[in-house]
Amino acid sequence: MSSTCYHLASSGLLIADLAKACQPPRVTDLRTLRAGDRRARIRNHPHRAPFQESRRGLTPRSHLTEKRTDTWVKELNAAGVPCGPIDSIDQMFEDAQVQHLRIAQDVPNAERRHIRLVGQPVTLSRTPSKMVARPPEFGEQTDEVLAEFGFTAGEIRSLRQAKVV
């Protein structure tokens, strides 16, 4: 699995749990991660952010790429740190939950091309969503949009000749 795992920890407890689970270099005193209010943590962020690049060379890749994404997700979730993978488009479409929920939908089109898009993330029993048309091709509706904004056919032609649209 080559996806990326991100977590945006905002509370002191989550930051400490995140640091404890990741065991990054130079984060030794977990009590300082819990200390202070949110503003103090932001002000002192170089001391508590295991993922931030520092002047001493600690980069997100230097420590976190030592394990696979699926391993990090399991370890962080086990430590009470909510997180999940950030997948590529292909990985997202292959995900078992995406397939089970039928979020990925094939879109009908006159060109008979296979177009698969992300549908609505919520399924309603009385009004289920379904993709019924493909999105427009690049520039396909330019004339209609310009006409809606009051451009005349001659003005649109002039814009095309000048390669503005």
Same domain, 57 and 129: no
Question: How many distinct structural domains can be found in the chain?
Answer: 3
| 104 DSSP β-pair partners | 118
Under the banding of pLDDT at 50, 70 and 90, the label for residue 156 is very high
Same domain, 108 and 36: no
- Asked whether residue 98 carries a pLDDT value surpassing 90, the answer given is no
Query: Which pTM was predicted?
Result: 0.48
Average pLDDT, rounded, for the chain: 75
The residue segments making up the domain with residue 69 are 4-85
Under the banding of pLDDT at 50, 70 and 90, the label for residue 148 is very high
Same domain, 15 and 81: yes
In whole angstroms, what is the distance from residue 1 CA to residue 65 CA? 12
Domain boundary among 70, 85, 100: 85
Are 113 and 36 within 8 A, CB to CB? no
Q: Which of 39-48, 87-96, 115-124, 149-158 shows the lowest mean pLDDT across its residues?
A: 39-48
H or E stretch including 5?
A: strand 4-6
Mean pLDDT of all residues in 114-118: 86
Same domain, 26 and 73: yes
Same domain, 108 and 147: no
Same domain, 80 and 110: no
In whole angstroms, what is the distance from residue 77 CA to residue 148 CA? 51
pLDDT in tens, 39-93: 665 665 554 444 444 444 434 445 667 788 888 889 888 988 888 888 888 888 8
Under the banding of pLDDT at 50, 70 and 90, the label for residue 24 is low
Supply 164's token pair. Answer: 């503005």
Same domain, 97 and 60: no
Same domain, 37 and 22: yes
